[in-house]
Structure 1
Amino acid sequence: MRFILGAPFPIEVRSSIKILNLTTAMTSVFRSIQLPVAQLNLKTVLKCGQSFRWTMVPLDPTEQDLTKIGPKTEAKAHDMPTEEWRLTLEDRVVCLRQTTTELFYRAHFPVESALGPPSDCQDSTLLWLKDYFQLDIDLEALYADWGKRDPIFQKVAPRFVGIRILRQDPWENLVSFICSQNNHISRITSMVHSLCIHFGRVVCSSSELPGSPLDASWHPFPPPEALANPNVEARLRELGFGYRAKYIQKTAAMLCEQHKDPMKALLELRQLSTSEARARLLELHGVGPKVADCILLMSLDKTEVVPVDTHVQQIATKMYGFRSQGKQPKAMNPKLYSEIATKFTDTWGSYAGWAHSVLFTADLKSFANFGLDSAAAVTAQEAILPLPSPAPVAEKNPLDERPASAPVKSEGPSQKPVLRKRKLEPSSNSNSEVSKGEAQGAPQDTTLAERVKRRRRPGNHA
């Protein structure tokens, strides 16, 4: 059974929910599962441009003790959580904390709820976590396989362990990546939160959830019906969505007109082949090949798909020596897109989309010094990325903005490698700015390779 972000809980779960009228907030205690950072690193996975609604709340020393990790010892003092990650679902706010060996989780329910907290609230939260983070996939085994296939990946991987693809709700994923066109992570995040605040309901307020900023409120992602009204476009433009406002409203309206249950219809795309699902997505307003491929990879289980934008093009050119057949184009086009995607699926196999996310994250400015101390940063970057000269890059990718007349093929092998399924055991303490659709060529988005190249130019001794 899989839980879907922001969607109603399945019948199997709702049947066990007691109908209560709560007068006080319900916050469960933290529980934990044994999960090393090599299998999941929240600091990278939740900030690398996959999902845009997670909120990080810094913890003070007294709040760190809430995880009930165990006796305070010198051995554990350095491994206490320093932040909490929060995400609002339909009926609860999920709160996560992490050490190097454990993932801690709890759920917070609103003060008043028609359904109230389910009697198995911790079990249902854990089931959702396993599905959302796809914890049945052994990430360390995948890293080992990619390292054997690709010496470049092998060099980059040690600093960027634990990066896995999320299994998101397709509707939220679709709208988020319509917002991502010619944009960057911080602005996409602002847009997505604005959608939730202005078109979603309140699950709980700051007074109910400890540690929340003053006047904060927690909202799930709005359903298609909330964005389908023609008046929505004008309101979104007022909120700063620009041309994306039209795409969001028209896509929501199209789904509502064509399907009795739009969110279910999107979920059913998981059962189609990659090419069939891509073709369906390309029928939607504002969805071009790159946006479609992000949705295929991040919410529709198409693990081989590699979304291609300017960053991925730069990685292919500078790190892998990619050259297009024939004259090198100045801007992305369907032929170049397909060639780059095929290059990476041939290199990494049927989980190529997962592998690409590691290289993509490593190339982000916000992670330039991730896992390094200041003294080692330059040396490590130069050792990892001794790259050729960059190819010309267009200022924006037209494939991000328009629906394509035909799908761009980037499917990988049909057979997936046999991976060891991970068995998650409860812990002994069980109670206890640049995205795939960002603006192109901006100076603040300089890659690691380009910064290293500048350091090597005569007169640069930084």
Structure 2
Amino acid sequence: MAWHKIPCSRRELQLLGTLNGGQSFRWEYNKETDVWTGIFSKTVWKLRQDDENLQYQVMGSLLNKASKSGSDMFQNLLENYFRLNYKLSDYYKKWSEKDELFEKACKQFYGIRMLYQEPVENLFSFICSQNNHISRISTMVEKLCKHYGEKICEFDGVTYFSFPDVDKLKQPQIESELRNLGFGYRAKFIQKSAAQIVEWGGRQWFKSLQEMKYKDARLELMKLCGIGPKVADCICLMSLNHLEALPVDTHVYQIAAQNYLPHLKGKKNVTEKMYSEIGDHFRMLYGDMAGWAHTVLFCADLKKFQQNDEQLSEGEKPKKKRKK
């Protein structure tokens, strides 16, 4: 199968940091072939890079079944997914001029893109992320797809499924089924939130959130069962195009307290007031794309954590894994 090419340098898009940084949970990397395999938009993709191009293959799709020539559509989907209309080097230069920590981090973490995800998958994936680590989140997301999504294709002995539509997740029996599948308390959040979303208009409701001001959209999301400030900010940032949204977890708090807001050091919990103060500080520093800029710092911190973890011997593994 031929590889299609989209002109895009490695400096503008780094697949490793973008696809492996905790934004999306449906990408796997084959080190031997240097190829990523993943699913979005009901389509199975293979991606790789050379110095000047993003290359892709479509392994199977539920879109455009009537036509064999959907390359323009698939290219547009990829360009939109990676937000390639943003010239990232210009923003990196601007952010580096404002912040020494960013200037240092971006030397290794160049080309980190904020994925433009589908709101339904984004929302339910991040419900799964609560008090969880990345490998287990990925397992839960795949269970949702396998049990409630549509089969897309089979390739190399693996069957790939789309993320389920919200209508599938609203059914009353879903909660008990998900509990049996190991989702715990998240089962209730998934079923109840799905029912609320359908009641409020489904896709049209999400569209209305995109058109609202960021803080209004965030408040609307927090009316869903089990959606707190951090998950609401993840959804605003990653799928509703509110790029100033800034999810604050314990690790972002540590970055802020250590480097920007020293008076916050030593606090046991991130209060609502602290959460707002941290978000507002980054928004003042970086402007209306603060959520994207902070993601680069988050990736750098995540990598540092993983390296420290790998340096420990098997007998010294930490008891707690990093939570998303």
Q: TM above 0.5, one fold? A: yes
After TM superposition, the structure 1 = structure 2 runs for residues 98-177 of structure 1, keeping only pairs within 5 Å, are 98-109=49-60, 116=65, 118-177=67-126
Q: How many Å apart are 1:442 and its aligned residue?
A: 5.5
Give 1 or 2: higher helix fraction.
Answer: 2
* Residue equivalent to 1:349: 287
- Tell me which of 285, 292, 296 is aligned to 2:236: 296
- TM-score (structure 1 length as normaliser): 0.64
1:167-225 alpha-carbon deviations (Å, 9 max, x no partner): 1011111101111111111111111011000111211113xxxxx3x3x2111100111
1:102-134 alpha-carbon deviations (Å, 9 max, x no partner): 110121236xx7962535411000000111111
Task: Note closer, same or farther for the CA distance 1:108–1:253 as it changes in structure 2 (3 Å cut).
Answer: same
Please say if residues 243 and 291 of structure 2, whose CA atoms lie closer than 8 Å, have aligned partners that are also in contact. Answer: yes
Q: How many Å apart are 1:319 and its aligned residue?
A: 2.4
Please say if residues 251 and 285 of structure 1, whose CA atoms lie closer than 8 Å, have aligned partners that are also in contact. Answer: yes
* Residue equivalent to 2:213: 273
SS in 1 for 2:197: helix
SS in 1 for 2:115: coil
SS in 2 for 1:339: helix
Residue identity opposite 1:255 in structure 2: I
SS in 1 for 2:219: helix
Task: Note closer, same or farther for the CA distance 1:159–1:348 as it changes in structure 2 (3 Å cut).
Answer: same
Distance across 2 between alignment mates of 1:36 and 1:220: 29
After TM superposition, the structure 1 = structure 2 runs for residues 44-443 of structure 1, keeping only pairs within 5 Å, are 44-60=17-33, 82-90=34-42, 92-109=43-60, 116=65, 118-206=67-155, 212=156, 214=157, 216-259=158-201, 262-324=202-264, 329-365=267-303, 368=306, 443=320
Task: Note closer, same or farther for the CA distance 1:318–1:329 as it changes in structure 2 (3 Å cut).
Answer: closer
Distance across 2 between alignment mates of 1:180 and 1:252: 16
Task: Note closer, same or farther for the CA distance 1:182–1:443 as it changes in structure 2 (3 Å cut).
Answer: closer
* Residue equivalent to 1:389: none
Task: Note closer, same or farther for the CA distance 1:158–1:350 as it changes in structure 2 (3 Å cut).
Answer: same
SS in 1 for 2:38: strand
Residue identity opposite 1:89 in structure 2: S
Residue identity opposite 1:40 in structure 2: L
Unaligned runs of 5+ in 2: 312-317
Distance across 1 between alignment mates of 2:81 and 2:259: 31
Give 1 or 2: higher strand fraction.
Answer: 2
Unaligned runs of 5+ in 1: 1-27, 61-81, 207-211, 378-440, 447-462
Residue identity opposite 2:141 in structure 1: V
Task: Note closer, same or farther for the CA distance 1:367–1:125 as it changes in structure 2 (3 Å cut).
Answer: farther
1:279-328 alpha-carbon deviations (Å, 9 max, x no partner): 1101101101111001000011111111101000000111224324xx96
Q: How many Å apart are 1:46 and its aligned residue?
A: 0.6
* Residue equivalent to 2:315: none
Task: Note closer, same or farther for the CA distance 1:348–1:162 as it changes in structure 2 (3 Å cut).
Answer: same
1:69-104 alpha-carbon deviations (Å, 9 max, x no partner): xxxxxxxxxxxxx223332532x3222111232110
Identity of aligned residues (%): 41
Residue identity opposite 2:171 in structure 1: N
Task: Note closer, same or farther for the CA distance 1:85–1:100 as it changes in structure 2 (3 Å cut).
Answer: farther
Distance across 2 between alignment mates of 1:445 and 1:253: 31
Task: Note closer, same or farther for the CA distance 1:301–1:367 as it changes in structure 2 (3 Å cut).
Answer: same
SS in 1 for 2:263: coil
SS in 2 for 1:203: strand
Task: Note closer, same or farther for the CA distance 1:367–1:107 as it changes in structure 2 (3 Å cut).
Answer: farther
TM-align CA RMSD: 2.4
Distance across 1 between alignment mates of 2:86 and 2:174: 39
| Greater relative CO, 1 or 2 (CA 8 Å, sep 6+) | 1
1:136-166 alpha-carbon deviations (Å, 9 max, x no partner): 0011111100100001111111011111111
